[in-house]
Structure 1
Amino acid sequence: MSLLGNGITALVTLLAVLLGGWLTIRNQDRLWNRDHARQWRDIRLEFYREFLSAYQQYVAFALEPTAKITAVPHPRRAKELMPFFDESGRPYKERFESAATAARLVSGFPETRNDLNMLVKHARAIAAARATATPGEIPSELFDAFLLAERTFQLSVRRELGLPAMSLDISTGLWS
């Protein structure tokens, strides 16, 4: 009887140790996943912040009255122009393009990448229009599409980062 009792006690102890080890591993895995998700969230936030800063500087330079911009037809996309900046504008374009590429690389949702691509397309359209017009002569439709693309991208980023939802009044372009 004593041998059977000792065997049962040993078996229960072994099961308790195995269960405790499994629970510890499971808890550590959950903590690691949470930390990993938090790190990626912070990385994405930083890259999106950098992109938004670079694109705002790009557009601000394109709208400068003294900016020298040329535009040529895109080799693969009909009715789309590619803007080229002079030496003083080249750093803005390079920073904008590299920040857009980096943001695409860390993006977690396809919708965010699509909205980023639309924002890049509309920013380039503003710069291309600026090649043949003064800032005041750029069609307001380009600015409307550009601002809508900006707001849509911001909503996608908020959704991807798990931030509280904000509503956008499409008619005014304002957050509420």
Structure 2
Amino acid sequence: MDQALEPDLIHNLADALLRRGWMMATAESCTGGLIAGACTDLAGSSAWFERGFVTYSNAAKTELLGVPAALIAAHGAVSEPVARAMAEGAIAHAHAQAAVAVTGVAGPTGGSVEKPVGTVWFGWCVDGRVTTELRRFGGDRAAVRAQAVAHALRRLLALLGAPP
């Protein structure tokens, strides 16, 4: 899988959000702000990018996004319920109509039999509707993170109903 973002991906995402008059937010764990960084690399992104939350620790997920600590304890930080709660929390704590959340195991350590390195849960909240997805990516830490960024943005664009 190509790790680079398609040249027009961010432009297309910006256009889709601007056409709707919407703002977006990010809630990132394993990507550490790379999604927000990719978005804000585009000049003029303040017209459609509202804010990003880097919630690497479980405490940050709870304090900044309102993810219940009990949810993390029950399912683990890398799980569908936590990705969903992160996306909902980003919307609740931002002035945005679209959000993407990412939580995963980028490696090289931290994996388990149930959640091996490369396991990434995504959550998207678009106009109040939450979608989640599990993906497993190969490669080293940088490759997992790059693939997660690209997938998060491609899927958000698709959910906005715009061509990728």
Give the TM-score, by structure 2 length.
0.29
Q: Which has the larger strand fraction?
A: 2
For the pair shown, which has the larger CA radius of gyration, 1 or 2?
1
Q: Report 1 or 2 for greater relative contact order, CA contacts < 8 Å, sequence distance ≥ 6.
A: 2
Q: Which has the larger helix fraction?
A: 1
Give the TM-score, by structure 1 length.
0.28
